[in-house]
Structure 1
Amino acid sequence: MQRRLVRRILLIAGLLSIIVVVGTTGFVLIESYSWFDAFYMTLTTITTVGYQEIRPLSHAGRIFNSFLIMFGVSAMFLAVGAMTQSIIELELQDRYGKRRKKRMIDHLQDHFIICGFGRVGRNASYELQRANAPFLVIDRNEQRVAKAASAGMLAIVADATHDDCLREAGVLRARGLIAALPSDAENLFIILSAKTLNTKLTVVTRASEEEAGEKLRRAGADTVFTPYAMAGRQLADVLLRPHVVEFMDFARSNIGSGVAMEQVCVSTRTEFTRKTFGQLLELRKSGVIVLAIRKQGGETTFNPPPEFEISAGDFLIVMGERANLQKLEQILTS
């Protein structure tokens, strides 16, 4: 749409420029006008302002001016019509785009809300986008929202600290929320509002100051990340356990091999409910590695033995290629 409008404007500008150049040159050659007088005469002719001629035209000059009037005035009417059409199309596109975006938001279910499209929110959005998870970006900055939209994300210009904006984002139907604003106070305000509107909402945030972490948890945040503490631990791990860090980065990476770690919930409808891990021969055929099993009560068993019993609602922490992970998910959630 925008390319077509730009191309239309360039064509109109080029046509008018050609007519002005031809008219100016014609008056200079036929009537011996100065360049400025010839330009002025051409401009008053094609714009139909009704000014009189600078001086009486000769017979050849009138013939030339007649053709200039026909082509020049037609070009001006065409330019005005095209510009009017462009303005109407932009207005309609803006209205249709807003309605279409609202319909998409209204149809979101069990989605994630990302408050803030800064450095933290942007990277979280890209990760959710790679996972094909439904999510919505909220930011007060129009340029950031436009950047998110250009990346194929659903984004709106809104203030996430307001309850009405959270309702508009579907917080009552949402599955989780990421509070990624630069201020701990703003994140605290978002958490209080979101948890009040939806007590079942899983909220994740970041804390600029370590002292603010406990306050954010008391406000209702399920998980609080402190970037500086995490960066410090990771720097130390690189020195002490470089191969472990390399392996974890490899497992979390989405580049190259396509190997990733994922969690798969055992459905009540699957035939593998109440069976032991050793009986799940399909797991071995799926080409994935089961790293751990987390029970509904919260207990986590790493490297589960063959006699370990699997129940509905358990989460399997698995690692493998994405295609194999999808096959395993189909088996355990069918």
Structure 2
Amino acid sequence: MRKFPERRRRKQKNALILHVNSGLSPEKTLLLRACLIFALLAVVIVIFWFDRDGLKDQIDGHISFSDILYFGMITVTTVGYGDIVPVTDTARLIDAFAVTPIRIFIWLIFLGTAYEFVIQKIVEDFRMARLHQSLEGHIVVCGFGHSGMIAAREMVAKGHPEDKIVAIDLAEDRVSAAADAGFIGLLGDATSEELLAKACVGRAKAVIVNTRRDDTNILVILTVRHLSKRSKVIASIRDEENIKLARLSGADLVVTPTRVGGYLLADAVETQHATPFLCDLMSAGGHMVMDERTARPDDVGKTMAEIEGGVVVHIHSGDREIPFIERERYRIQPGDKLLMICPASKPAGNP
């Protein structure tokens, strides 16, 4: 397996994204902005110093360096007190077209910092609190690439509410696409325990792990399992050698896209209609759907062939797997799980 990828990347929020993992600590961000402000103040002081002949001190008529320092500070932070004023056209033009833009830029830095570190955090905390209250029995999709988007759309097509699907990804465009589709977007690293806790994986119905790399997927599985023992974990693993590791890490079900794609391609060589039928069967928009349900009281004692409402193709009975070939012989037992092919308009569903 490859080395685990480095985490954290700074991204900007939009209205529907609920979390941002920042690449810089608040202390470093404030330090950088403070340095920028001091640099701009130094530029203003230098400008006034070289044009000091255009200024007039109303108190003693003399402009010293301390006067320039004082005038530069109050000009940038306020509009001045009138004790030192520009008296020449050049000084006034410099103040209007050089110093004023710097003053505006510095105030934008002040306001932006206040918004990012105070107002935005208050709003973010409020929205996260509401999110925690509302999320229960939801689906968390870790890695919202093309297959993640398809999975989310399929779940919606099968009746899962859009606002009960949480998409986590490092790429801002993917999280924005999830938010635009009506899902909850969390921008950040899915291997982060803090971020997964914000996604309430402990109360999730299922967690789909589908990042770009197998090693990242396995780390996500381990983190999810640390936070939740009951949530169903479905993992997408590309390399065959990593399937066992994913299962040992706590994945309930492992899907191998390369294997599934290979099966479909092989079927397409010898058949004309098998591959389209299988794709139709897997899609919620198809004419037939796969359904899994627990045996009802009136199913007990019947064979697979006697079950109405669909075709039973497989039964999971305790530790046994009952294949389709046993459909005329095996008698359904209480607690059996029936895997059925049903018409899309009449899914069997759980009772």
Q: TM-score, length-normalised on structure 1?
A: 0.59
Counterparts of 1:205 and 1:279 in 2: how far apart (Å)? Answer: 33
* Paired residue type of 1:114: V
Aligned equivalent of 1:110, options 116, 125, 137: 137
RMSD: 3.3
Contact 1:203–1:221 (CA under 8 A) maintained in structure 2? yes
Residues 95-149 of structure 1: per-residue CA shift (max 9 Å, x gap): 7787456434433333321101112222221222212234321123333222111
Conserved? CA contact 1:237–1:245, under 8 Å: yes
Matched, 1:276 2:276: no
Q: Summarize the Cα distance change of 1:272–1:92 in structure 2 as closer, same or farther, 3 Å threshold.
A: farther
Q: Partner of 2:233 in structure 1?
A: 203
Q: Which of 299-308 and 91-100 deviates more?
A: 91-100
Contact kept? 1:276, 1:307, Cα under 8 Å: no
Matches within 5 A, 1:290-301: 290-301=312-323
What do the CA deviations read for 1:153-172 (whole angstroms, capped 9, x no partner)? 12222321111211221111
**For 2:150 and 2:206, how far apart are their aligned partners in 1?**
16
1:232 partnered with 2:259: no
CA distance in 2, matches of 1:232, 1:108: 37
Deviations 1:220-272, CA, capped at 9 Å, x for gaps: 223333333433332222113443323322322334x5321211223xxx542
CA distance in 1 between partners of 2:131 and 2:345 (Å):
28
1:180 & 1:160 partners in 2: Cα distance?
10
Distance 2:140 2:165 in 1: 6
Match of 1:323?
345
Distance 1:313 1:275 in 2: 12
- For 1:324 and 1:189, the matched residues in 2 are separated by 40
Matched ranges for 1:22-101 at <5 A? 99=126
Question: In the alignment, which of 164, 172, 194 is matched to residue 194 of structure 2?
Answer: 164
Question: Percent identical across equivalent pairs?
Answer: 26
Q: Provide the residue aligned with 1:190 in structure 2.
A: 220
**Secondary structure of 1:218 counterpart:** helix
The equivalent of 1:50 in structure 2 is none
- CA–CA distance in 1 between the matches of 2:297 and 2:238? 47
Q: Unpaired runs of 5+ in structure 1?
A: 3-87
Is 2:280–2:287's contact at 8 Å kept on the other side of the alignment? Answer: no
What is the distance in 2 between the residues matched to 1:318 and 1:216? 28
Q: 1:96 to 1:300 in 2, by over 3 A?
A: farther
Deviation at residue 317 of structure 1 after TM alignment: 1.5
Q: Provide closer, same or farther for how the CA distance between residues 309 and 223 of structure 1 changes in structure 2, counting only shifts above 3 A.
A: same
1:259 aligns with 2:288: yes
Q: Give deviations 1:34-88, integer Å, cap 9, x for gaps.
A: xxxxxxxxxxxxxxxxxxxxxxxxxxxxxxxxxxxxxxxxxxxxxxxxxxxxxx9
2:199 maps to amino acid = A
Contact persistence 1:176–1:202 (CA under 8 A): yes
Q: Which residue of 1 aligns with 2:277?
A: 247
Q: Is the 8 A contact 1:116 1:138 kept in 2?
A: yes
CA deviation digits over 1:151-207, x for unaligned, max 9? 121222232111121122111122321111112222121111111222333322223
Q: How far apart are the structure 1 equivalents of 2:248 and 2:189? A: 23
Q: Count residues with an aligned counterpart.
A: 233
Query: Residues 216, 305 of structure 1: CA spacing in aligned structure 2 closer, same or farther, 3 A cutoff?
Result: closer
User: Normalising to structure 2: TM-score of the pair?
Assistant: 0.57
1:203-222 aligned within 5 A: 203-222=233-252
